[in-house]
Structure 1
Amino acid sequence: MSGLFFKRITIDSQICHGKPCIRGLRYPVETILEWLSSGMTIEEILSDYEDLQREDILVALNFAAKLAHVKRIEDLVAA
């Protein structure tokens, strides 16, 4: 993963049970993705959560894309 991931995505066992979060804030990556998949736009998220930045949302999407990148679907299902 690029350096941007390490600046924007943090994992701390004391925050949100160790789930990947945005910049040490209590916004798990999965929550950002759920908001987007429910139809919220980036602009709506940023308006509702002013401590988030556009780059946070984009890196959450990129993080999910990296996790979803598998050579075969069987590798994903077997995990």
Structure 2
Amino acid sequence: MESIISRITVDPTVCHGKPTIRGSRLMVATILELLSAEMTYDELMEDYPSLQKEDIQACLLYR
């Protein structure tokens, strides 16, 4: 079983090297900002259909 944190990648050619969710351009900082604005997991996954619960958890662990 892979580590949940491996869902986060840093690539200098994607989003200026900022941490993103693997396979997307969705930045960890964006997810954390939305969570701090009291957006729920379900709301996030509705707005970003490719997002999975484990991706959100990985963002929280990464910070």
Q: CA offset at residue 62 of structure 1?
A: 1.0
Q: Which residue is 2:28 aligned to?
A: 29
Structure of higher RCO (CA pairs closer than 8 Å, 6+ residues apart): 2
Q: Which runs of 5+ in 1 are unaligned?
A: 65-79
* Residue equivalent to 1:74: none
Aligned residues: 62
Q: TM-score, normalised by structure 2?
A: 0.90
**Higher helix proportion (structure 1 or 2):** 1
Using the TM superposition, give the Cα deviation of residue 3 of structure 1 relative to its aligned residue in structure 2, in angstroms. Answer: 3.2
2:16 aligned partner: 17
RMSD over equivalenced CA pairs, Å: 1.3
Shift >2 Å, 4+ stretches = none
**SS at 2:43's partner residue?**
helix
CA distance in 2, matches of 1:13, 1:63: 18
Q: Which 5+ residue runs of structure 2 have no aligned equivalent? A: none
Q: How big is the shift at 1:39? A: 1.1
8 Å CA contact 1:9–1:24 kept in 2: the answer is no
CA radius of gyration, larger in: 1
TM-score by length of 1: 0.73
